[in-house]
Structure 1
Amino acid sequence: MKSTIILYSTQEGQTYKIAQFMAEQIGNDSCELADLHQVEDLDLSSYCNIIIGASIRYGHFNKKLYQFIDQHKVDLISAGASFYSVNLTARKPGKDTPEGSVYIQKFLKRSPWQPKHIGVFAGGLYYPRYSWFDRVMIRFIMSMTGGETDTSKEVEYTDWEKVALFVKKVTK
């Protein structure tokens, strides 16, 4: 029996990559990873520690995150589950905290579950992997926010030390 489960909702894979890193920090033998979009009939009560991670796309979390929370709210609350958000805005100081993240503030107002611990991590910018439309839109957003606009580049903004500190905090 695995004692920790990390559920993730990812668009381009960075949230999953962060979940994998967390599992390595915890110990793969005692940690299970699961795609939040593909789990059905999951019994969360059998886990000592629950961590959920979700990415932002065009300013919003995937609606399946909220559906999952509604379905499992009682278990998330009783387990003292933790949550982490992944977004490109978090590459800027002050936007990488629960208090400074507009996405987390909106999440906390909308969600019936209030996580015990919250992490906010910068994601990755993978222009070559995006569709033409996404590449154009993300480049426009990045130009407005002072970010990378060279569409031939891939840039990982995740602060892995910060992720490791979050893991230590949520697994005490």
Structure 2
Amino acid sequence: MRAGAPADEAEFRTATRDDVTTQLGEYVAFVTPSGKTRCMTGELSDGALACLVTLADPPPQPDEVYGEWVPGWVEFDGTEVTMGAGRADPGQFSAGTGAELPYGSTLKFGDYQCRSDQAGVFCINFAHQSGVRISDTGVEPFGCLRKDDTPPDAAARYSCR
């Protein structure tokens, strides 16, 4: 997961939506060259990595979800990763989309490092020695992450318990 050409973190400290650029301060945002996966850290996710991925075969909306079901909403904080969420708003993604992270490039920020690849985005959390592959087929956990009870408002959850 660590292989790849390092990208300049400063290039990923903004997000753009409708020609309006938002400075993200200590947070980052990026999109894969395919446009299928957009990721961002932010205050609204307590610094966790949140990604929106266009899934090839999205899971159905759970009965307990009210509002808009976003099957490709992924949150990864190092000790847990969840896929799917009922959302009333776009969260930090209201700021838009970050710069493109070219295939084969790695972006290191905080405790994370992500590599863009044609097979998906591979992200590791150094503090917890865990990782995920996020792609249009879903989430693949690595390290201490194991399948866990899925909360009623999600499609899947993996944790380091």
For normalisation by structure 1, the TM-score amounts to: 0.26
Higher RCO, 1 or 2 (CA under 8 Å, sep at least 6)? 2
Larger proportion of strand: 2
Instruction: Decide which structure has greater helix share.
Output: 1
TM-score normalised to structure 2 length: 0.27
